[in-house]
């Protein structure tokens, strides 16, 4: 990750979204809109590109979509989501590689575009590479608190993950999205591919710009691209958050862009599942790490209070 770029950009006024630099999946290296690493088909999983602009008319088609879309925010050219109010603090989650430290997001505007609301960060709770998670707090006006509570997306730490589990993701992925609209994916390939509650501590499989640390992961077939970093991974049927996206293989091999081939590697439990798809951090591993930190006394008082209420 090129921290010098992030440091310089953190002191520049936030530009319009479509001209804002975009953190790469996994590594967080910033790329400019219009880069040849943005608008192409290297990110596609399955026979169709499933990421579509979010429209209000879709809310009636998928019960969980409205809450997920309205609880999702743009964070420094990437994505984050509102977890809820804990220990009196309004907490937003994104990736460690989006906000690796307090200075990286100190001046960030957290924009909930579906709600027409934007809030400044008020504090940095912490970031943890092994779960590629960063937690921030935002300044929510008192009159907005009940509105935000309606669209909170807390982690469902104890919900099992199983192969074929249907997923939903919403974020600001840049591929085929030059307008930088909010886009969502819930096509037939957007599902869990790893075995029931199988998680691996793995390197970033991106062969072009890999991140520098290992992160706990589960495998899925959702279309994600640079800018989707920090998106909630949601169980489509229950609407519960089962993890957070962190990376994906770039570029994909051609066979992965065939849904029949995907079905075959899922049925065979092929090792390709762990090298060619998209990868999210499971909520269960986030809970596990937080419990370890609490027992070890490795959280600040402010972070401890928030984490205890989250769990």
Residue whose structure tokens are 């982690």: 155
Parallel, antiparallel, or unpaired for β 78-86 and 215-220?
A: unpaired
Q: Could you give the C-alpha distances from 3 to 8, 147, 211, 253, in angstroms and in order?
A: 9, 35, 12, 30
Domain-embedded: residue 310:
no
Which stretch of DSSP H or E encloses residue 268?
A: helix 259-268
**Digit-coded pLDDT (tens) for 19-30:** 677 776 766 666
Q: Cα(24)–Cα(22) distance, rounded to whole angstroms?
A: 6
Domain-embedded: residue 207:
yes
Q: pLDDT above 70 covers what percent of the chain?
A: 89
Query: For residue 67, what are its two tokens?
Result: 């809450």
Q: What is the CATH number of the domain that holds 255?
A: 2.40.10.10
Domain-embedded: residue 309:
no
| pTM of this structure | 0.90
Domain-embedded: residue 197:
yes
Residue 172: which domain range? 167-285
Query: For residue 76, what are its two tokens?
Result: 């420094």
Secondary structure (DSSP) of 187-215: STT-BB-SPTT--EEE----SSS--SS-E
If you average pLDDT over residues 145-155, what whole number do you get? 98
* Range list of β-strands (E), the chain: 22-23, 30-31, 52-53, 72-75, 78-86, 89-94, 109-112, 117-128, 133-138, 167-171, 183-185, 200-202, 215-220, 232-235, 241-248, 278-282
If you average pLDDT over residues 25-43, what whole number do you get? 63
Q: What is the total count of domains within the chain?
A: 1
Q: Cα(205)–Cα(196) distance, rounded to whole angstroms?
A: 21
Domain-embedded: residue 45:
no
Res 30: pLDDT: 66
Res 281: pLDDT: 99
Confidence band for 60, pLDDT divided at 50, 70 and 90: very high
| Sign of the C-alpha dihedral computed for residues 72, 75, 79 and 80 taken in this order | negative
Q: For residue 30, count other CB atoms closer than 10 A to its CB.
A: 21
Domain-embedded: residue 259:
yes
Domain-embedded: residue 227:
yes
Q: Could you give the C-alpha distances from 48 to 3, 104, 189, 229, 269, in angstroms and in order?
A: 35, 35, 9, 21, 22
Confidence band for 205, pLDDT divided at 50, 70 and 90: very high
82: pLDDT strictly greater than 70? yes
270: pLDDT strictly greater than 60? yes
Q: Could you tell me which residues are beta bridge partners of residue 110?
A: 119
274: pLDDT strictly greater than 70? yes
Q: Cα(133)–Cα(306) distance, rounded to whole angstroms?
A: 15
Mean pLDDT (the chain) is 90
263: pLDDT strictly greater than 60? yes
Q: Cα(250)–Cα(188) distance, rounded to whole angstroms?
A: 21
Domain-embedded: residue 229:
yes
């Amino acid at each position: 990750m090129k921290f010098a770029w992030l440091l310089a950009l953190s002191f520049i006024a936030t530009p319009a979204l479509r001209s804002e630099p975009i953190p790469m999946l996994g590594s967080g290296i910033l790329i400019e809109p219009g880069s040849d690493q943005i608008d192409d088909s290297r990110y596609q999983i399955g026979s169709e590109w499933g990421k579509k602009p979010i429209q209000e008319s879709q809310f009636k088609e998928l019960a969980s979509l409205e809450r997920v879309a309205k609880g999702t925010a743009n964070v420094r050219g990437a994505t984050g989501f509102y977890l809820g109010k804990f220990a009196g603090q309004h907490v937003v989650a994104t990736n460690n590689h989006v906000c690796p430290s307090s200075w990286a997001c100190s001046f960030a505007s957290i924009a909930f575009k579906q709600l027409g609301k934007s809030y400044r960060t008020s504090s940095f709770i912490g970031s943890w590479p092994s779960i590629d998670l960063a937690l921030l707090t935002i300044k929510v006006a008192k009159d907005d608190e009940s509105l935000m509570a309606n669209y909170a997306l807390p982690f469902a730490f104890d919900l099992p993950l199983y192969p074929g589990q249907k997923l939903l993701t919403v974020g600001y992925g840049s591929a085929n999205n030059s307008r930088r609209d909010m886009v969502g994916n819930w096509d037939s390939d957007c599902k869990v591919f790893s075995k029931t509650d199988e998680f691996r501590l793995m390197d970033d499989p991106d062969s072009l710009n890999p991140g520098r640390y290992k992160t706990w992961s589960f495998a899925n077939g959702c279309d994600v691209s640079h800018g989707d970093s920090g998106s909630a991974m949601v169980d489509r049927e229950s609407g519960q958050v089962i993890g957070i996206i962190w990376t994906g293989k770039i570029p994909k091999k051609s066979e992965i862009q065939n849904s029949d081939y995907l079905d075959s590697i899922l049925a065979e439990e092929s090792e390709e599942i762990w090298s060619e798809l998209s990868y999210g951090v499971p909520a269960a591993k986030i809970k596990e790490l937080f419990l370890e930190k609490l027992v070890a006394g490795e959280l600040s008082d402010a972070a401890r209070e928030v984490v205890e209420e989250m769990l």
